[in-house]
Amino acid sequence: MMRRWFSSADARALIFLALAPFIYYLPAALGLKTFFSYDIESLFYPIRFELAQRLAQGALPFWSSTMHGGFPLLAEGQVGALYPLNWILYRFFPIHVALAYSLLPHLALAGVGMFLFLRTQNFRAAASFIGALSFSFSGFFVAKMQHMTNLIAAGWMPWLFFAHTKFSHARDLRARRAWFAAMSGIAALMLLNGHPQIDFMAVTLFGLWVLFSSLTRADAAWRARVKEIGLTLGALTLGAGIAAAQLIPFVELFAYSVRGENYAAKEWASYSLDPARLIQIISPFALEGPFDPNIEFFGYAGLLTLAL
């Protein structure tokens, strides 16, 4: 049975997608180097170092007396103090290894999750593999290696789609409950990760997908379709409830931040996608080089991918 599983196209694709980030970034995977530029240097390293110190003391970083003359660090969601993987990484590993492994497993997660989702949409293994590899090594993910929480949240996104698809097609109550719980857990992990912008965009896209997939199903009555939409909303709400320990202090801190009051519309719209930058789907450096702020707009997935 095991030999047959490893010989299947699905198994080979999943193994490759799971290992590809660790092979591509081998020095970081081996702990010889780490990712350390832009936001990692100025934001994530300091707050995750503080997290590591507090975890070593058997505590959470509710308050930092060394940052800004005193700062409610737990409320800064990007510290990831309640994200389960961080309890292991920043408690038991050196900080440079923890930083690298905050990213690499989620790149693998993105590829594997996208492959599984595409397979549920009846794409062949080869097509699903190309789609998953193009997703996990797209311009977005490569550019966001410095924006850790962006990448982590996006890595969970295809799993949300996959869990909903399995939930909507499950026939027995036990399976539906399991996939309902999976949707809630994934939503909670995305929120505990601490990047609300990516969470908002992911949930918006997911919501549109749920509406489309539910309302266009030909194998279910209208009442069943509406019920499915309601249950999916319930799963997301439950996920938000699980993550409330992170969300509540974040919302409270937000009210005191520069973005919480009198924030100009121009500022809210900063880094919005200029339609002219859509050319970068075909050529990533058509307008600017590989540096800020241009990396915010990379959607490049490769000419071969577009051709296919």
Is the pLDDT at 252 greater than 70? The verdict is: yes
- Say if 257 falls within a structural domain: no
pLDDT at 1: 46
pLDDT at 182: 97
Range of the domain at 64: 34-93
- Say if 226 falls within a structural domain: no
103-133 tens-digit pLDDT: 999 999 999 999 999 999 999 999 999 999 9
Torsional sign, CA 190, 178, 241, 207: positive
Q: Which two tokens stand for residue 177?
A: 């409950």
- Say if 83 falls within a structural domain: yes
- Say if 54 falls within a structural domain: yes
- Say if 55 falls within a structural domain: yes
The answer to whether residues 140 and 298 touch, using CB atoms and an 8 Å cutoff, is yes
- Say if 80 falls within a structural domain: yes
Please state the domain count of the chain. 1
pLDDT at 58: 93
| DSSP codes joined into one string, 199-227 | HHHHHHHHHHHHHHHHHT-SSS-HHHHHH
Q: Is 285 helix (H, G, I), strand (E, B) or coil?
A: coil
- Rounded alpha-carbon distances, angstroms, from residue 167 to 88, 159, 180, 225, 274: 30, 12, 6, 12, 37
- Say if 53 falls within a structural domain: yes
Q: Which two tokens stand for residue 71?
A: 């700062």
- Say if 72 falls within a structural domain: yes
Mean pLDDT over the full length of the chain: 88
163-187 tens-digit pLDDT: 999 999 888 999 999 999 999 999 9
Report the C-alpha dihedral over residues 169, 173, 175, 176, rounded to 10 degrees: 60
228-248 tens-digit pLDDT: 899 999 999 999 999 999 999
Q: CA 153, CA 147: separation in Å to the nearest integer?
A: 10
286 vs 163, residue with greater confidence: 163
